[in-house]
């Protein structure tokens, strides 16, 4: 959001010259106080532009929302908007994080029925701080199941217990996803390694 065609063209040329080959193409959100939305309204337009300007040089990933993007008109429209990004040239997708594996499997089945064949990698959010996670999840439309919320709340400010329970819950989710055929996992580490490492240790 906010970028002009000329700016994105210069960025792409810079990335290419520096030897980068992989891009995660996101529309993002308009920062508050920013006057112009720029030349691209949706990520699909950005993907088209990257293909138009740089051909097949970049491997492009886009965002996917198994629990529906919060600004989508409805679930059906959101699925079709996701398909438009793949049709525009995306090679794969990474999902918004979620804690309900059925939402992911359902999403994969739905887009498969629409003819989408690119790998869809689940985004995983390790749980380090429940209050922060709750705030973040409310904003981005990720649902925290009641049974997880209640157990987390029971630990209150005991950060060590929250981390242990968080690692257990998230590792179980990862196992179910991999067993169910997910092509890999994408961890939102948010520059903090510890909670992700705790999950990986449980996954061996
Ligand atoms: C893997 C991943 C990484 C992320 N990383 C970051 C990050 O680093 N920083 C950050 O700020 N945010 C990040 N986000 C969040 C993301 O920026 C927001 O969710 C943003 O609101 C949408 O970006 P998008 O690329 O999914 O947009 P789009 O795919 O363009 O979709 C945005 C909304 O527009 C709707 N839409 C699409 N096309 C149309 C159309 N033609 N007509 C009407 N409606 C349409 C969609 O249904 C959706 O509701 C990330 C999300 C994911 C899944």
Task: Catalogue all structural domains in the chain, each as residue range(s) with its CATH number.
Answer: 5-203 (3.20.20.220)
29 CA distance to ligand 1 centroid (A)? 7
Looking from the CA of residue 41, the nearest atom of ligand 1 is 30
Bridge partners (DSSP) listed for residue 124: 187
For 63, the enclosing helix (H) or strand (E) is strand 59-64
Give the pLDDT mean for 19-47. 88
Does residue 83 line the site of ligand 1, with CB under 6 A? Answer: no
Ligand 1 atom nearest 78 alpha carbon: 47
Query: Would you place residue 174 in the very low, low, confident or very high pLDDT band (cuts 50, 70, 90)?
Result: very high
Ligand 1 pocket test target in 23, 28, 41, 138 with most atoms within 8 Å of CB: 28
Q: Are 69 and 100 in contact (CB under 8 A)?
A: no
Q: What is the mean pLDDT of the chain?
A: 94
C-beta 28 within 6 A of ligand 1: yes
Cα of 28 from ligand 1 centre, angstroms: 5
Higher pLDDT pick, 87 / 38: 87
pLDDT of residue 30: 75
Q: Name the residue at shortest CA distance from atom 49 of ligand 1.
A: 72
**CA–CA separation, 198 vs 96, rounded Å?**
21
Mean local confidence (pLDDT), 188-197: 92
For 87-101, what is the mean pLDDT? 98
pLDDT at 20 over 70: yes
Residue 35: its pLDDT value, please? 64
Residue 42's contacts (CB-CB under 8 Å, 6 or more residues apart) are: 27, 81, 84
Q: State the virtual CA torsion across 106, 123, 61, 190 in degrees, nearest 10.
A: 160
Does position 155 have pLDDT exceeding 80, yes or no? Answer: yes
Query: Over 90: is that where the pLDDT of 37 sits?
Result: no
| For range 132-153, the mean pLDDT | 93
Grade residue 138 by pLDDT with cuts at 50, 70 and 90.
Answer: very high
Task: Give one word for 38, left, alpha or beta, with left for phi > 0 and alpha for psi -120 to 50.
Answer: left
Interior angle at CA 144, CA 139 and CA 149, nearest 5: 120
**What is the share, in percent, of the chain residues with pLDDT greater than 70?**
99
pLDDT at 142 over 80: yes
State the average pLDDT over residues 100-119: 98
Res 38: pLDDT: 87
pLDDT, tens digit, 9 for 90 and up, residues 48-91: 999 999 999 999 999 999 999 999 999 999 999 999 999 999 99
H or E segment and range at residue 51:
helix 43-54
Q: What is the pLDDT of residue 50?
A: 98
Contact 122, 185 (CB under 8 A): yes
Q: What is the pLDDT of residue 34?
A: 63
73 Cβ contact partners less than 8 Å away, ≥ 6 residues apart: none
């Amino acid at each position: 959001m906010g970028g002009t065609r000329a700016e994105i063209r210069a960025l792409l040329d810079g990335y290419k010259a520096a030897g980068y080959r992989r891009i995660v193409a996101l529309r993002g959100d308009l920062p508050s106080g920013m006057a112009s939305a720029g030349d691209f309204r949706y990520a699909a337009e950005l993907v088209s532009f990257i293909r138009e300007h740089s051909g097949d040089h970049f491997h492009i990933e886009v965002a996917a929302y198994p629990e529906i993007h919060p600004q989508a008109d409805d679930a059906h429209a959101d699925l079709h908007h996701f398909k438009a990004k793949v049709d525009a040239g995306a090679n794969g997708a990474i999902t918004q994080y979620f804690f309900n594996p059925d939402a992911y499997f359902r999403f994969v089945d739905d887009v498969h029925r629409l003819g989408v064949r690119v790998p869809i990698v689940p985004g995983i959010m390790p749980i380090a701080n429940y209050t922060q996670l709750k705030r973040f999840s409310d904003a981005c439309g990720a649902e925290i199941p009641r049974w997880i919320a209640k157990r987390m709340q029971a630990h209150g400010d005991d950060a060590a217990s929250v981390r242990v329970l968080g690692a257990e819950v998230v590792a179980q989710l990862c196992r179910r996803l991999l067993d169910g055929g997910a092509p890999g996992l994408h961890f939102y580490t948010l520059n903090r390694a510890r909670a992700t490492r705790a999950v990986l240790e449980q996954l061996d």
